[in-house]
Structure 1
Amino acid sequence: MLYILQGFIQGFTTSIPLYLASYKASWQQQGTFSWVSYPFSFKVVWAPIIDSFQSRRFGRYQTWLIPIQLIIAILKLFKKQCIRELTLILLTYKIGFAATYSMTNLTLLGHGITRDTLALMHIPLLIIHILLPLCLNETRCPLLWFARGYIPRLIGSSMLAIYIFFVSNILDKSYFYPVLIFLLCLNETLVYLMTVSSIGFYARISEPRIAGTYMTLLATISNLGHSLSSTLVLYIANWLPKSYAYSIEVGTCILLGFIWIGLTWRIIKRLDALPVEEWYLKPSLLVINHSISEEI
C-alpha cells in the first residue's frame, strides 16, 4: 500500500506539468513546480520522525533512539570511500538525460500533440516495465549493466531530440506516430535497464542489519540527483529561445553525459568489483563471524 501511494504521487508530479503546459506555463514556472518532488527525495530525513511518533509501544526514549541510531549508521556509511563515490555517481549521472526526461512530453504538447495521445503512446511502455526486470533478474554485475546502458541511452536521447526537432514538418505524416512510439520505447527500455540495474546493486550491497534504510538512502540520493537536474534544466530553459530550448538543452546534457561516463567508467567498474563486505559498516567483523560460522 505504501508503494501504491508513492506511485500516485509520482504520477501526479509527471502529469501535472502537462496540464501546466496546456495553460502556456513558462519553463521557469515548470521549474518552480518541480520543487514538489523534493519532499519525496528527502524522505529518508523525515521518515524516521514519522515512525517515531507512531511507535508508542517502544516507549518515549526508545522511539527516539531508533532513528538516531539509523542516522549514526548513515553517517558511518558516508565515512567509507566507496559510499562517497557511489553518492557522487548517483547525484550526477542523470544530468545526461535531464532535459530528455523533463522536457520531451512538454515539448510535444507545445507542438500540438494532446495529453490523451501522449497517454496512449505510453501504454506500450508498461510491457517494458514488466519484462525488463525479469530479464535482469540473474545478473551478477548490476552496476556494470547500469554503466553499459549509459551511452546507448545518450544515443537514444539524441535520436529522440532530432526527431522532435523536425516534428512540425512531419506531424501529419503516416509514419510520425509509429516512429515516435518506437523511439520512446527504445528510450524507456534504456531508462529501465539502468533503473533496475541500480536497484539490483542497492539490494546486493545493502547490509542485512539495516537493509531497508540502506536501500532507501541510496534511492533517496538518486531521487535527489534527478530532482536537482530536472529543476536546473527547466530554469535554464526559461532563458533560452523558446523554439530551440529543447534542442539546446538536450544537446548540452548529452555532451555532459559523454564527459560524465568518460570520467566515471573506471570508478563504476571498481565499485562493482568490490566484495559485498566492503559496503558494510563493519566488514572485518562480518568476515570474521562468517569464517567462524563456516568452521562450526
Structure 2
Amino acid sequence: MPTNRGTSKSNICLTITLYILQGMNLGLTSSIPLFLIYYGATWKDRGTFNFAMYPFSLKLLWAPLIDVLYIRRFGRRKSWLVPILLISGAVLFSISFFIQSWIINNRVIILTIVFFIIVFLTASEDVCVDGLAITLFAVSNPQWASTSQAIGQTFGRFLGSSFLLTFESANFTNKFIREPLSLPYQTTGLFSLVHFVRFVAVAFLIVTVCLIIFVREKEEKLDANGKKAHDLSLIETYLSIIKLFKKKCIQKITIVALISPIGFVAIQTMTPLALISQGVSRENLALVNIPVTLAAIITPLIIRHTERALDWYARFYVLYLIHALPLAVYVYFTPSMISSGYYYPVLIILLTISEFIRTLLFASSVGFSASICQPDIGGTYMTLLATIANLGYALNSSAVLYAANLLPKKYDYITAVSASSFLGLLWFSLSCRTLKRLQKLPASEWHIKKEANINGATTLDEQDQNVLFLTHTEKN
C-alpha cells in the first residue's frame, strides 16, 4: 500500500470503502429510532438511545493505543482493522436474531447497550482509518482525507438508512416492484431489518478477508515537512495529548467545537422523527432522502482543493442556521399539505439544500482538522479533534431531545429548532473573530515541538513527564 506518493486512486478507494463500512453501522444506528417511534417511542426514549453514539465522544481514551501498539510485521493499521472488522461482523450477525423483537417490545435500554458496543467498534475503526487517511494524503492533498470520509460515510449511511427503510417497506415494494413485475403482493418488503443486519455483517467479513489478502501496508512516519519521523511510545502519545491541550489554539478550538453544535442539533436530530410524527411514512421519508443523499455524496468534491477551511465553516454555519427556520416551518405544516401535489417536491428541495450545506459544513470542519494535523501522531490528533466535535454534538443533542420532551407536543419541534437556531446565531456573533484568528495561524502553531535525545529519537521534555506524574497523583 503506497503512502504519500501522490493521491492514487487505490488509496482513495481503500479509504472510501472503509468509511462506507462505518457509515453502514452509523446509518443502521440512526434508523433504529425511526423503527422505535412506530411502536410508540417518545423524545425521551430517543434521548436515551442517543447515548449509543457516545463512544465517538470518548474514543480519545483508547486512540493512542491504536496509534502506537501494533504488530509491525502485520502492519500499523491492519493490526487493529482486521480484528475490529471481524468482531463487528460477529456482533452484527449475533444481534440479527433478536433485534426485531427488541424493537417491537420497545426495549430501548437493551438496544442502547448493544448499539453502544457497535458504535464503540465503529469509533475504533474510525481511529484507524483517520490515521490511515492522514498518512496517505498528508503530502499530496490533505483535503482528500475529509473528502473520502464525507463520501464514504455518507454513502454508507444511505445504505443503512434510506436504502434499508425503502426496501424493507412492504407498501413500497408491492406498489413499485411487485406490481409492475406482476408478482403477488407480500406482507414484507424485499428484505427485513434482520436480513439487512446480516448483510452488513457479511460485508464486514468480506472486506476483512480482502484486507488481509490484498492490502500490503508499508509503514512510513512523516513529520510536517514530509520527512521520516520517529515512532512515539505509548506514554509519549498520551503526553502529546496533554501537550496539545496546553496550547491556547487547541483550547480555543475546543470551546468552539463544544458550543457551536447548539445551533443545528435540533434540525439534524429531530427533523426525521418530526416528519414521521406529522404523517410521513418511513418509506416515503426514505425515498425523499435518496436525492438528498446523492447531493451529500457529490457535495464534498466542491471543496476538495479549498484552502482556509475554517473560513468556509463559518459561512456554511450561518447559512445552515438561516435555512433551518423555513424547513422547520414547512415540517410543522405537514398535516395540512401532505396530500397536495407540491408537498414532497418542495420537501425534497428544502432537505437537499439543508444536506448540501450540512455536508459542506462537515467537510470544511474535517478539512481544517486535516490541514493542521501532525502526521506522526495523525490518528491520535484527528481523533482528538473529532472527539471534541462529537462530544459537543452528543451533549447538545441529548440536551435538546430531553428538553423537547418537556415542551407541548404540538409545538415541540418548531420551538426546539427556533431556540436552537437563535442560540447558534448568538454564539456565532460572539465567536466569529476567534474563528478568523484561528484560521490565520500557521500549521506549525498547532503542532507539538519535540526535542531530540542523543540517539536522535524523539522524546518529550522533563516538564511533560512531570505533568503525567502530577496528573496521575491527583487522580489518586
The verdict on a shared fold, with TM-score over 0.5 as the criterion, is: yes
Equivalent residue in structure 2 for 1:208, among 359, 372, 375: 375
Residue of structure 2 equivalent to 1:125: 292
Shift of 1:91: 1.3
The match for 1:244 is 411
Shift of 1:57: 7.7
Aligned-pair distance for 1:284? Answer: 11
Aligned amino acid, residue 84 of structure 1: Q
Written as runs of structure 1 = structure 2, the 5 A alignment for 1:82-161 is 82-161=249-328
Provide the identity percentage. 47
Gap change, CA 1:52 and 1:147, over 3 Å in 2: closer
The alignment's TM-score, normalised by the length of structure 2, stands at 0.56
Partner in structure 2 of residue 43 of structure 1 = 59
1:217 to 380, 384, 392: 384
Which residue in the other structure is 1:292 paired with? none
Listed as ranges, the matches of 1:203-282 within 5 Å are 203-282=370-449
RMSD: 2.1
Is the 8 Å Cα contact of residues 258 and 389 (structure 2) preserved in structure 1?
yes
1-structure distance, mates of 2:296, 2:271: 19
Structure 1 residue 44: Cα displacement: 2.1
In the other structure, the counterpart of 1:23 is 39
Match of 2:25 among 1, 9, 12: 9
Alignment partners' CA distance in 1, 2:356 and 2:451? 39
Q: 1:227 to 1:186 in 2, by over 3 A?
A: same
For 2:427 and 2:349, the matched residues in 1 are separated by 27
Partner Cα separation in structure 2 for residue 283 and residue 56 of structure 1: 24
**C-alpha contact (below 8 Å) 1:96/1:256 kept by paired residues:** yes
Gapped regions of structure 1 (runs ≥ 5): 59-64, 286-296
Q: CA deviation at 1:68?
A: 2.6
Conserved? CA contact 1:277–1:283, under 8 Å: no
Q: Which amino acid aligns with 1:6?
A: Q
Deviation sequence 1:86-131 (CA, Å, 0-9, x none): 0111111111011111110001111121111111111112322232
Greater RCO, CA 8 A, separation 6+: 1
Q: Deviations over 1:222-260 (max 9, x none)?
A: 111111111111111111111110011001001101101
Per the alignment, do residues 193 and 208 of structure 1 end up closer, same or farther by CA in structure 2, a change over 3 Å counting?
A: same
**Between structures 1 and 2, the one with greater helix share:** 1
Which structure 2 residue ranges, 5 or more long, are not aligned?
1-16, 75-231, 453-476
- Whole-angstrom distance in 1 between the partners of 2:39 and 2:372: 45
Quote the Cα distance in structure 2 between the aligned partners of 1:50 and 1:270. 33
Encode CA deviations 1:135-187: one digit per residue, 9 max, x unaligned: 10121110000001111101111110011111111111111000000000010
TM-score (normalizing by structure 1): 0.88
Displacement of 1:52 in angstroms is 7.2
How many aligned positions are there? 279
**Structure 1 residues 193-204: aligned runs within 5 Å:** 193-204=360-371
The Cα offsets for residues 46-70 of structure 1, whole Å up to 9 and x where unpaired, read as 3444677764989xxxxxx833322
Matches within 5 A, 1:162-201: 162-201=329-368
